[in-house]
């Protein structure tokens, strides 16, 4: 067995690198490409019950040390997406579908639909507004987060990861609520609310004005979130936010992450980033005399 193989919520990844949702995850072809390029698992683009066109352009812009996006959850809808997900299974790595919703039941219904594709697990994108409790975000409300996880767990028999947002006062409270609701793992974190302004045009750069910040500049925040969550929950945590090198991955794993998701770095450094990060983790382990990557998980928590 490879020294990089990890088990996360009952799933086996050949190495701890995982494609984050929304990046190269919209078609079977792109998911297969990531699998062929060394990722341990892939998370597909979030899909909902009905198709969505998404926000006006520009939707993705590069800024200093990061990326701003306001894609607006453009997707073909869960039903349409099943075929892509099914074809992506040929990549030979676990395929995790991501679902979002605007009501608790939307998540469960979308999860039920995508589960027909034979996927390995479901990730819940909790960074969505709730239309029944106006002004609230699922992932910023412990009760709503609990309810979404519980409803999805009642509906499908797959492992469920709750993907949290750091746009909250206390992310640990939300993580605990998800664990109580039956989540098998936590993904931390999604993008942080942010914006940029074009000073010549005197307008916000993004078509949607406000969007989500990802990439290098997010890393200290996402690392802190993983560190706080991992101390308080028993279920595994996947770290996400600004990870681009083996050293970053080792930091997250020492903070308690069992695996690391990579998003923006795929856009800025190319799809070779998975193989490179995995190799750099292995080099670190060998240099430090560790026989397996699991031996470093949580070392900085003690």
How far is residue 295's CA from residue 191's CA, in Å, rounded to a whole number?
Answer: 29
Q: Where are the alpha helices (DSSP H) in 133-272?
A: 142-155, 171-180, 219-232, 246-254, 264-269
- The kind and range of the H/E element at 285 are helix 273-288
200 DSSP assignment: T
Determine if 214 is a binding residue for ligand FMN (CB under 6 A): yes
* Options 110-118, 194-202, 231-239, 259-267: segment touching ligand FMN (CB under 6 A): 259-267
CB-CB contact of 242 with 215 (8 Å) = yes
- What phi and psi, each to the nearest 5 degrees, are found at residue 241? 135, 95
75 DSSP assignment: B
* Options 10-18, 130-138, 146-154, 240-248: segment touching ligand FMN (CB under 6 A): 240-248
- Within 129-168, which residues bind ligand FMN (CB under 6 A)? 163
Binding mask of the shown chain, residues 70 to 109, with x at each position contacting ligand FMN by CB under 6 A: -x-x------------------------x-----------
Determine if 15 is a binding residue for ligand FMN (CB under 6 A): no
Residue 20 or 226: the one with the smaller Cβ distance to ligand FMN is 20
58 DSSP assignment: P
Per CB under 6 A, the list member of 15, 17, 37, 69 interacting with ligand FMN is: 69
How far is residue 135's CA from residue 226's CA, in Å, rounded to a whole number?
Answer: 26
Q: Is 217 a catalytic residue?
A: no
Determine if 240 is a binding residue for ligand FMN (CB under 6 A): yes
Residues binding ligand FMN (CB under 6 A): 20-23, 45-46, 60, 67, 69, 71, 73, 98, 125, 163, 190-191, 214-215, 218, 240-243, 262-265
């Amino acid at each position: 067995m490879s020294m990089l193989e990890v088990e996360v919520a009952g799933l086996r990844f050949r190495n701890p690198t995982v494609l984050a949702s929304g990046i190269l995850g919209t078609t079977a072809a792109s998911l297969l490409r990531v699998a062929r390029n060394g990722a341990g698992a892939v998370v597909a683009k979030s899909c909902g019950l009905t198709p969505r066109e998404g926000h006006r352009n520009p939707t993705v812009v590069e800024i200093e040390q990061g990326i701003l996006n306001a894609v607006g959850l453009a997707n073909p809808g869960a039903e349409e997406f099943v075929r892509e997900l099914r074809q992506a299974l040929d990549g030979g790595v676990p395929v995790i579908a991501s679902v979002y919703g605007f009501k608790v039941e939307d998540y469960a219904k979308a999860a039920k639909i995508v589960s027909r594709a034979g996927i390995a697990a479901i990730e819940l994108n909790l960074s969505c507004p709730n239309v029944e409790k106006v002004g609230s975000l699922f992932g910023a409300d412990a009760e709503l987060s609990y309810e979404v996880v519980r409803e999805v767990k009642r509906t499908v028999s797959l492992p469920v990861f709750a993907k949290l947002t750091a746009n909250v006062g206390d992310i640990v409270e939300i993580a605990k609520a998800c664990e109580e609701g039956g989540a098998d793992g936590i993904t931390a974190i999604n993008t942080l609310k942010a914006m940029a302004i074009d000073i010549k045009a005197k307008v916000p750069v993004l078509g949607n004005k406000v969007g989500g910040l990802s990439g290098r500049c997010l890393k200290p925040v996402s690392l802190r979130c993983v560190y706080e969550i991992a101390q308080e929950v028993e279920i595994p945590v996947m770290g996400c936010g600004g990870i681009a090198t083996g050293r970053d991955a080792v930091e997250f794993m020492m903070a308690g992450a069992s695996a690391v998701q990579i998003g923006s770095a795929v856009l800025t450094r190319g799809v070779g980033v998975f193989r490179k990060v995995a190799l750099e983790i292995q080099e670190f382990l060998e240099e430090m005399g560790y026989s397996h990557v699991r031996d470093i998980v949580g070392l900085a928590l003690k």
